[in-house]
Amino acid sequence: MKAAPILTNSPRAHNPRPCYTLALVPRLECVPNVSEGRRPEVVARLIAALSGPGLALLDVSSDPDHNRSVFTLAGEPEALHAGLLSLYAAALDEIDLTRHEGVHPRVGAVDVTPFVPLAGTPIAVAVAAAERLGAALAERFDLAVYLYEAAARQPGRRRLADIRRGGFEGFPAKLADPAWEPDFGPARVHPTAGVTVVGARFFLIAWNAVLETADVAVACAIARRVRESGGGLKAVRAMGVYLASRGRAQVSMNLVDFRQTSMHAALERVRQEAAALGTRVLETEVVGLVPQEAVWEALREGLQCPVFGGERVLEERLRVPPSA
């Protein structure tokens, strides 16, 4: 039995209040990241490509500085497979990476497509979906495909950052090394669409902190102190970027396992490092969607109430939309 689409409070739902449903939860979430965030008409056409049966589009987050859009999908493996092939076809028609600029690293028109298991689904289901999609992308679009995280076939390809190092422009030189032969498809870079990365992973929280300063060097310094690779917080990856549209610097973070470092802990560390460098966090923003447990964990830490959760929230107990 196919799961019914989940009701959401996304802009497409035309309802500003959260909604609840007793529908079966789909087995997989998928979060394709596309290298386009400046042309609304193109993003609209990409959304239209994701209108297949059994496919729930839960959120679209676009950013002009990163020049990137993140689509959050949910569905059964078959529905996701069909929708993603349509998305790739549309993206390859619309996006030319030789003309693409943005502060976010990228190697492909559809840069990365991770599958995430939902509701107790085994990670093997997400890995199988990634492998099937990778094979289909190579056959249909002649794309070089790299598998990462739980789907990786080589230890050196588990981390997305390692695959993406050098970017689209640097990938031809990378392919000169036989060690970088793709998992699927030709050992060459598509002239306008680059390569693509497909995988299976745990929930990732893309979370950005906008600083009061416009000095990107400050943001980069904070990112170095916060991320795990710099001796900072576990399961945190971070970089500093400049947001031209806002005239501010930003610490862009990926929390790859909120069970090891919570949203609250990450923000507190960024605040501390910012203060030490003479600036402060003005606001934060979430890209895409966040697992409910990650929100409860942040509230528990922020409120210093270890047992705080849905059982203490009126609407959660009633399971009805909150009052307007």
Give 153's DSSP letter. S
Pairing of strands 68-75, 55-63: antiparallel
3-class DSSP assignment, residue 239:
strand
Q: How far apart are CA 70 and CA 59, in angstroms?
A: 8
Q: How far apart are CA 98 and CA 147, in angstroms?
A: 24
Q: Which residues neighbour 256 within 8 Å (Cβ) at sequence distance 6 or greater?
A: 201, 202, 204, 235, 236, 237
Q: Is 104 a catalytic residue?
A: yes
Q: How far apart are CA 196 and CA 184, in angstroms?
A: 10
**Cross-strand partners of 199:** 114, 148
Q: Which residue has the tokens 């310094």?
A: 221
**Marked catalytic residue, from 66, 81, 100, 104:** 104
Helix (H) or strand (E) holding 123: helix 123-141
Q: Which residues neighbour 194 within 8 Å (Cβ) at sequence distance 6 or greater?
A: 97, 106, 107, 108, 109, 111, 168, 171
Residues annotated as part of the active site:
104
